[in-house]
């Protein structure tokens, strides 16, 4: 495990039903690196993106309501992947369900067009993840 040398100013912590299963998907398929673990918890990264996973616990003060699949309703996470096409291929090879196939999207910021490759998947607990990478013009949206 690699030590974290720079802490991101915002790090989502996702509650998961089965930490071992989530760690397998996040590391083997999504390409995240595990930095450290303790019982029921893991700290991960993918490039500069930092992520925490926590096993569901009874009487957890951090839990704001009843957890029902899909978790994370109303939120999606955009994650810039070092190789979005390779990640997509790895998921297809593993028969991982894809919510929205890989496509090239264009987004306007005033008169500036940003181009990115992107696709959507649900993690094992139903959190919506949008993995992105540069489009053919090399730009990306924010």
Domain that holds residue 112: 13-57+71-134
Structure tokens at 45: 């990264």
Instruction: Tell me how many domains the chain contains.
Output: 1
Chain segment 34-80, per-residue pLDDT in tens: 999 999 999 999 999 999 999 998 777 777 778 889 998 899 999 99
Chain segment 113-134, per-residue pLDDT in tens: 989 999 999 999 999 999 999 8
Structure tokens at 86: 């390779």
123 inside domain: yes
66 inside domain: no
Tell me the Cα Rg of the chain: 16
**Can you tell me the distance from the alpha carbon of 39 to that of 29, in angstroms, rounded to the nearest whole number?**
22
17 inside domain: yes
Nearest to 37 by CA among 60, 4, 8: 4
Chain segment 54-67, per-residue pLDDT in tens: 999 877 777 777 88
Report yes or no on whether pTM surpasses 0.85.
Answer: yes
Identify the CATH number of the domain in which residue 103 sits. Answer: 3.10.180.10
Q: Are strands 128-134 and 112-122 parallel, antiparallel or unpaired?
A: antiparallel
What is the pLDDT at residue 117?
96
């Amino acid at each position: 495990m690699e030590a974290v040398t720079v802490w991101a100013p915002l790090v989502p912590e996702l509650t998961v039903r089965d930490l071992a299963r989530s760690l397998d998907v996040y590391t083997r398929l999504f390409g995240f690196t595990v930095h450290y673990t303790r019982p029921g918890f893991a700290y991960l990264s993918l490039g500069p993106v930092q992520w925490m996973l926590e096993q569901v616990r009874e009487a957890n003060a951090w839990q704001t309501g009843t957890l029902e699949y899909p978790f994370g309703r109303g939120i999606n996470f955009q994650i810039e992947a070092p190789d979005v096409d390779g990640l997509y291929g790895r998921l297809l090879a593993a028969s991982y369900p894809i919510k929205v196939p890989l496509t090239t999207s264009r987004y306007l910021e005033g008169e500036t067009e940003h181009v990115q490759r992107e696709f959507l998947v649900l993690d094992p607990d139903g959190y919506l993840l949008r993995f992105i990478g540069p489009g053919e013009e090399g730009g990306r949206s924010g």
